[in-house]
Chains A and B, each alone.
Chain A
Amino acid sequence: MPQFKIAAVLALAIILQLSLREAWPPLSHIDFPLIVVVYVALQRDAWTALIVGTIAGLAIDAPSGGLIGAGGFSKTLVAYLVYLGATRINLENALIRIPVLAAAAVIDGAIYFFWQRSLGHPPSAPFVQTISYNLIGTTVVGTFVLYMLDSLFNPTASQRRQFASRRRGARRSKGLSKRR
């Protein structure tokens, strides 16, 4: 996977995250850097995933009112957990990626909140409400973004998926004709 492409996508995600809140505040519930982190971790490249997680977290922490490092910590851990999952289970299917994104959003928010609170700097936003909005925003938008990233980074994988679905269709129709 070309590293400069990842860097460009990550930079774009960070810029989007920083600027969308000014355009319309509810858009800040879509965690674009987290989506990129999840995507990189799904490619089973541990080192890149961990580094991307740390950079994405720190970049968002810097202009935030929270502690610097809390986002880096949570996104690095999420990157590793998704990487672990991807090495043990086949997460190529777009449908399976939806719960992965949802879990990533919840874990990321929970760890971030935990550290801010533990180190005497509790966030002002309500925990459950914010996590819920993050989960919805990140999962819905993330599903489409992952699909787009897949076609950008890995055209062969998306082709493979298309062939697989065609094969499934063909097998089904073959089975039906046999029964008849």
Chain B
Amino acid sequence: MAATRTQKEIRQRAPIWLVMLLFANFVVMAVDARDRFSQQQTYKGLVQAFFSPIQTATSWVSGTGGGFFRQIVSFRSTANENEILRQRLAETELELRNMREAKNENYRLQGLLALKAEAGPEKVYARVIARDASVWFNTIMINRGSSAGVALNMPVITPGGIVGRVVAVSPVTAQVMLITDEKAAAGAIIGQLGGSGALGSVRGLGNSGLVEMRYVSGLQKVDAGDYILTTGQDGIYPPGLNVGEVVEVRPGTATEPHQIYIRPSARLDQLTEVAVLLYHPPQRPAPEQTLPNVDKKKVMSDK
């Protein structure tokens, strides 16, 4: 009888518990949403700091397990790869001779480039400890946070090219939105040698792994294989970073821009280590707030 009563009580109280828990979740959500709009991220940072040891552990587990499975899968394609590699070896030997000549020239140019490298922003190297656990977003977690100098909107790169930007920071971790996320964007230029130099904006295409370059006039000459670099005009990425390579161009017209699809140079599906650029974009002058008509009226009344 007592057990029946308890069951009854549980059944009666369940809706109250439900409402309480749903309300608690809603409050958490609302606070997080407010933090994102105000660019504070303190709350999210605290939660991420709490979960970072678990993520580090799972990263280690998946790294070990994933490596094992990848080895099995790659075993099948080894024979084909072997054949292709033999052909490439012959080509590479030919290239090697040319490269030696270029090497001498390179030494001279490196001296000039060293100057540029010294002037570049400082870097914080970090390891990727987790990928987005939900299927809805394209983000990664890295094991460096505000204690290492990482701040919101700092660019994240690999030797290949840009990875994305920091969207949340805790003292020990940071969350990075990948450039392939639909909400990610960057100012870019088509930087082929002696080519168009057309300006545009790159934006992620979600799970396809590609990014799209927009606003490039249909009259500009763009070909597959062209390199895309950042312009630095977006206030996040410094100029001259590699974005990727054009893989497809759907030609535009005089009135319609090209549709340009780019494969990011950074291998976003196999990220293990990245560098956060401690880059602070140059401050832009604030736009003039006063309306020109108001000024005119003021002058008239003064007269």
Decide: B136 and A124 in contact? CB cutoff 8 A.
yes
Residues of chain A from 116 to 130 with CB closer than 8 A to chain B in the complex = 116, 119-121, 123-126, 130
Alpha-carbon separation in the docked complex, A39 to B44 (Å): 30
Alpha-carbon separation in the docked complex, A51 to B10 (Å): 14
Decide: A116 and B136 in contact? CB cutoff 8 A.
yes
A139 within 8 A of B: no
Q: Distance in Å from the Cβ of B63 to the closest Cβ of chain A?
A: 7
Give chain B's interface secondary structure class: helix
Q: Distance in Å from the Cβ of A140 to the closest Cβ of chain B?
A: 16
Decide: A24 and B66 in contact? CB cutoff 8 A.
yes
Decide: B181 and A23 in contact? CB cutoff 8 A.
no
CB closest residue in chain A, given B61:
A19
Alpha-carbon separation in the docked complex, A76 to B13 (Å): 15
CB closest residue in chain A, given B136:
A123
Q: Which residues of B contact A120 (CB under 8 A)?
A: 33, 36-37
Decide: B54 and A76 in contact? CB cutoff 8 A.
no
Chain A: how many interface residues by the 8 Å CB criterion?
A: 56
Q: Which residues of B contact A59 (CB under 8 A)?
A: 51, 54
Q: Which residues of B contact A53 (CB under 8 A)?
A: 21
A72 in contact with B28 given A19-B62, A23-B69 (CB within 8 Å): yes
A47 in contact with B28 given A18-B130, A120-B33 (CB within 8 Å): no
B158 within 8 A of A: no
Decide: B18 and A22 in contact? CB cutoff 8 A.
no
The 0/1 profile, CB within 8 Å of B marked 1, for residues 159-176 of chain A is 000000000000000000
B224 within 8 A of A: no
